[in-house]
Chains A and B, each alone.
Chain A
Amino acid sequence: MASISLSNVHKFYPNGYAAVRDVSLDIKDGEFMILLGPSGCGKSTTLRMIAGLETISKGDLHIGGARMNDIDPADRDVAIVFQNYALYPHMTVIDNLSFGLRLRGVGRAVIDQRVANIADMLGIGELLSRKPAQLSGGQRQRVALGRALVREPKAFLLDEPLSNLDAKLRSAMRTELIKLHRTLGTTIVHVTHDQVEAMTMGERICIMKDGVIVQVGAPMEVYRNPVNTFVAGFLASPPMNLLRSRLSAQSLSLGDTVLALPPALGQAFAAHAEREVIAGMRPEDFHLKADAAASTAPVKVHAVTTEVLGPEVILVATVSGEQGAEIHIRCPRDFRAKPGEIVIFHYDVSQLQLFDPETTYALKRPVQI
């Protein structure tokens, strides 16, 4: 077990391309950290630099307090699980599992004991004499995970390990990984582009874009207070609705709707009054009934289409007087609307986020009102 710390880490390729720029991140001992971002954001490169598979062009990497920049991957005592599993095709499952231990000269008896434990834990006991080609995707996934676990490394690095699995298996493995982390308490760095994985698995999420860190925080913290429109539009499905609007002293104009702001928000945003802003509104903050306790305000929308998901219905609509921009609204499961139908929702204004249209960054507001 160990902490992992990256200080001002850069990765430049020989052609001058900067894949990772000035990444500083402290991953605590035993923490489940998610590196989240779209493809090409540098999250996998960052992970590969931690593993030692990519050199660090600039900056420092410490694992368990020791500087690791120039340490061979074999001596970093971390384990990695790849997206494509990378099982050794010419070895049986048992040889795949024990390969790392055999290289380290661990005794036969200890190896057998550990392999048996892991096989038992992951339910792959019957597969030990098979070769990877004779395994299903889910089984390969387990073996790859087992190969990492059996070495009892300081940290696990997971490079999109669930993205090749079908939806059902993925959700099962997600739960399993969370349980595993709870049992072992080992530091885990999990790279993914899937925001559901990020929200459900991580203790903290580090969101990256274009090689830099955009925001780091606990899942709900990042969800509640996205630092800019990129994070707002990336997390959750459907993501936060982002609408151009105009801010006045105590209100916000969206199309022909005027939302009165609660005094606390009005004060917080006062410096930006009489300006164009981007309003960030979560799909679940629109309600069919007004709530006296919450500060809701009516919003008139024109239904475009509905997506019936079963437990809920997603309404795609345009805000009255605001042509073009579509918003998503989370509705109860029995909600229906015909295309073109006008529906009045009550938006919980206390949840409103505002972003600067030029910098895309959020305007400061009190966390709770």
Chain B
Amino acid sequence: MKRIAARVLPHIILCAFSLLILMPLLWILRVSFTDRLTAYKIPPEIGTVGLMNYVEIFARYPFTGWFLNSLIIALGATAIALPLATALAYAFARFNTGGTFLRLGVLASQMLPPIILVLPLFGMFLFAGLMQSHVGLIIAHLTISLPFLSWMLVSFFEGDVARLEEAARVDGATRWQAFRYIAVPVAAPGILAAGLLGFILSWNEFLFALVLSGPSSQTLPVGLAALETHAGVEIAPLAAATVVSLVPVFALLPFLRKHLIKGLSLGALK
């Protein structure tokens, strides 16, 4: 009896918390298939069910544009951040470049509220003619993802990989070859996971995109917020748009999980 309780109780608690997190998502999913009037009914009812909201966001709003902007900016920021962060993390792990000071300095930029960075970036972008451009937003997102990814990657280059590189160095590899053929492939699961997280970070980013983007570079989160019109919240299309914007993130989750769990060392070292 006690053993059953010990197994059941954690599940009940976990289910309750999962529900707490899932409920809003499920609610949005339901609303995305109904109309505005049904959406607010308590107790919830299914009402008219259809894909009209999904049609509407593509027909009445520049949803495709937002989606593409988000994709370009998130992919661009990740593509630049990942190699740079990998190199920085390697330098931290192997050579202790800049010591604790530089490591903490990189982290410190993440401790500031993002709003502090927005105004200087706004000024600089205005001066450099980067306002409202994709490039500007990619640079802005790099200020978030570069420190985050490099901190995350340091641990993947510490420990056992160093021993493998030593073996490669004696085997005849230069520093670069040891990095390229040993360290990077061995840390690949970690680098991939960091890349996915970086993508999601940029995909969901709102504040920088709100201030620094323009009509041609508006991203999904900004676009979704725009559905809160002066005629009231367009709750049903908003829900549909939210669901679509979640699709890439959900599509990436299984990979993220797989690669994060996959250990660093695959049996090279005992």
Residues of B within 8 A of A (CB): 163-164, 166-174, 177, 181-182, 185-186, 188, 265-270
Q: Which of B166, B167, B170, B266 contacts A90 (CB 8 A)?
A: B266
Decide: B170 and A73 in contact? CB cutoff 8 A: yes
Q: Which residue of chain B has the shortest Cβ distance to A84 in the bound complex? A: B269
For A52, A82, A135, A137, the residue with the greatest tally of chain B CB atoms inside 10 Å of its CB is A82
Knowing A133-B266, A135-B267, the reply to whether A88 touches B164 (Cβ < 8 A) is yes
Q: Which of chain A's residues 38-90 have a Cβ closer than 8 Å to chain B?
A: 51-53, 72-74, 76, 78-80, 82, 84-90
Those of A137-180 within 8 Å (CB) of chain B: 137, 140, 147, 151, 157, 164
Tell me the minimal C-beta distance from B86 to chain A in angstroms.
Answer: 16
A132–B163 CB distance below 8 A: no
Q: Which residue of A lies closest to B165 (CB)?
A: A86
Knowing A51-B170, A74-B172, say if A103 contacts B177 (CB, 8 Å). yes
Contacts of B172 in A (CB 8 A): 74, 100, 103-104, 151
Contact status of A99 and B168, CB under 8 A, knowing A74-B173, A74-B174, A88-B186: yes
Contacts A/B (CB < 8 Å), 26 sampled = A52-B169, A53-B170, A72-B169, A74-B171, A78-B170, A79-B171, A80-B166, A80-B167, A84-B163, A85-B270, A86-B164, A86-B268, A86-B269, A88-B168, A89-B265, A89-B268, A99-B173, A103-B171, A103-B172, A103-B173, A131-B266, A135-B267, A140-B270, A147-B167, A147-B171, A164-B270
The interface centre, meaning the residue of A79, A88, A131, A135 with most chain B CB atoms within 10 A of its CB, is: A88
Q: Output the least CB separation between A198 and chain B (Å).
A: 22
B174 contact set on A, CB distance < 8 A: 72, 74
A245 → chain B closest CB, angstroms: 46
In the complex, what's the smallest C-beta–C-beta distance from A146 to chain B, in angstroms? Answer: 12
Number of A-B contacts (CB under 8 A): 87
The answer to the question of A134 belonging to the interface, with a C-beta cut-off of 8 Å to chain B, is yes
Contact (Cβ within 8 A) A137 B270:
yes
Cα distance, A101 to B153, chains bound together (Å): 30
What's the dominant secondary structure at chain B's contact region? Answer: helix
Q: Are A74 and B268 in contact (CB under 8 A)?
A: no
- CB-defined contacts of B168 to chain A, threshold 8 Å: 88, 99
Contacts of B265 in A (CB 8 A): 89
The answer for the CA separation of A43 and B163 in the assembled complex, in Å, is: 18
| Bound Cα distance A137, B270 (Å) | 8
Closest to A86 in B: B167
In the complex, given contacts A74-B172, A89-B164, A90-B188, what are 8 additional A-B residue pairs having Cβ atoms less than 8 angstroms apart? A72-B169, A78-B170, A86-B163, A86-B164, A89-B186, A90-B186, A133-B266, A157-B170
Measured between C-beta atoms, what is the minimum distance from A134 to chain B in Å? 7
Instruction: Identify the closest chain A residue to B171 (Cβ).
Output: A100
Q: Closest chain B residue to A53 by CB distance?
A: B166
Which chain A residues border B181 with CB–CB below 8 Å? 99
Chain B residue nearest to A87 (CB atoms) is B268
Contacting A132 at CB < 8 Å: which of B171, B177, B188, B266?
B266
Asked if B268 contacts A132 (CB within 8 A), the reply is yes
* Distance of A135 Cα from B268 Cα, bound (Å): 10
- Nearest Cβ in chain B — how far from A136, in angstroms? 10
Q: A248–B224 Cα gap in the complex (Å)? A: 101
A residues near B170, Cβ cutoff 8 Å: 51-53, 73-74, 76, 78-80, 157
Within 268-301 of A, Cβ neighbours of B (below 8 Å) are at none
